[in-house]
Amino acid sequence: MSKLSPRRIFWLFALVLVLVAASALPAVAQDQPKETYGMVVFLKGSEFFNWAYAGMRDAAARLGPNVEVQLLGPAEWDASLEAREIEQLVARGVDGIIATAGDAQTMNSAIDRAIAAGIPVVLFDSDAPESQRLAFVGTNNYNAGCEAGKAVAEWRGDAAVVGISTFPGPDHLARRVQGFEDCLKAAAPGATIAQIVNDEGKVDRAEAAVTAMLQANPNINVVFGAHGNPGPGAAAAVRTLGLQGKVDILAFDFGMPVLELIQSGEIKATVGQNPYLMGYMSMMLAYGARHETEITAGTGFGPYPGLIDTGVSILGPDDVGQFMNPPSFQ
């Protein structure tokens, strides 16, 4: 019998270690029953929610091949259609629901029915705080608005004259605007908010509303868009009125139109949230809540924190490259 070389002995020993370690692992998740989790959004197809769903998918893949996820929701901003999607998921008996509230009140009853049925509901991005949802994962929207206000104070100081584009209804937008106003005033006491316009959540309405606002208030030198659509609308308005270089635009989120306008110099910066982390952590929380532990036995749900803040950053031309290839889902 030939003598084993030291090199061959090393590899045989490594193989034994791998086999021993593998035998100690738990059973493969494919032997476990299938679990289904749905993500319900108020604007299916938007890049923001595709980033969030990408995070949810990656988390589900980490949890095991028996965990399936679905992306649901209307193609137009409609919280009542979201509520209907949640009710349909409850009727199907899914294992967990992740949702973003297109309106702070409209979805409460559907969320509460899911909880009553023993289905964990985790909200992300926009909260429905009066519902019985288990947890909220997302931006602290007051803090996000505050960061925006501080950025504008750095740009213009006490000379800042600001117009804001937003729309009534969603709780998260109201918090952003309040944070913006408070922190702008704290950092630049001489700054003023000239007007707040209702863009109805749409780019074309933002363009029309910002155009009228700039015509009525020629001293405005900054436009702040409190959500993803006003930035491109404001850029179009500034372009039409020939005010490039005179009016700074601070957008919100990093949809492709916003990124391209930052690269072209028409938008100065954007408030970047972390939707991927929102989706990832929401999936982890919903899964954890679905599985009781010895400590939580009898409560109906497993362990979960009530709140996770995923933070924001002010993104300028040097920061947006990593977001230029967003995921796409049907």
Q: Give the integer Cα–Cα distance in Å for 286 and 67.
A: 12
Give span(s): CATH 3.40.50.2300, the chain.
29-139+275-311, 141-272
Architecture of domain 29-139+275-311: 3-Layer(aba) Sandwich (3.40)
Check residue 224 and give its pLDDT: 98
Q: Using an 8 Å Cβ cutoff, are 160 and 184 in contact? A: yes
Check residue 13 and give its pLDDT: 40
Check residue 170 and give its pLDDT: 79
75 by Cβ neighbours in 10 Å (0-12 / 13-18 / 19+) ranks as exposed
Q: Using an 8 Å Cβ cutoff, are 49 and 43 in contact? A: yes
Residue 114 sits at the vertex; the CA angle it makes with 110 and 118, to the nearest 5 degrees, is: 165
Q: Using an 8 Å Cβ cutoff, are 163 and 222 in contact? A: yes
Q: Give the integer Cα–Cα distance in Å for 199 and 228.
A: 11
Q: Give the integer Cα–Cα distance in Å for 228 and 253.
A: 5
Pairing of β 248-252 and β 96-99:
unpaired
Question: How many other CB atoms are found less than 10 A from the CB of residue 168?
Answer: 9
DSSP assignment of 126-170: S--TTS--SEEEE--HHHHHHHHHHHHHHHHGGG-EEEEEE-SS-
Instruction: Per-residue pLDDT tens, the chain, 330 aa: give them.
Output: 344 444 343 334 443 333 334 344 344 445 789 999 999 999 899 888 999 999 999 999 999 999 999 999 998 888 999 999 999 999 999 999 999 998 878 999 999 999 999 999 999 998 899 999 999 999 999 999 999 999 999 999 999 999 999 999 877 899 999 999 999 999 999 999 999 999 999 999 999 999 999 999 999 999 999 999 999 999 999 999 999 999 999 999 988 999 999 999 999 999 999 999 999 999 999 999 999 999 998 889 999 999 999 999 999 999 999 899 889 886
Check residue 30 and give its pLDDT: 52
Check residue 8 and give its pLDDT: 41
DSSP assignment of 35-99: EEEEEE-SSTT-HHHHHHHHHHHHHHHHH-TTEEEEEE--SS--HHHHHHHHHHHHHHT-SEEEE
Q: Give the integer Cα–Cα distance in Å for 315 and 261.
A: 12
Check residue 261 and give its pLDDT: 98
Domain 141-272 has CATH 3.40.50.2300: yes
Entry pTM: 0.76
27-56 residues labelled b (16+ CB within 10 A) or e (exposed): eeeeeeeebbbbbbbbbbebbbbbbbbbbb
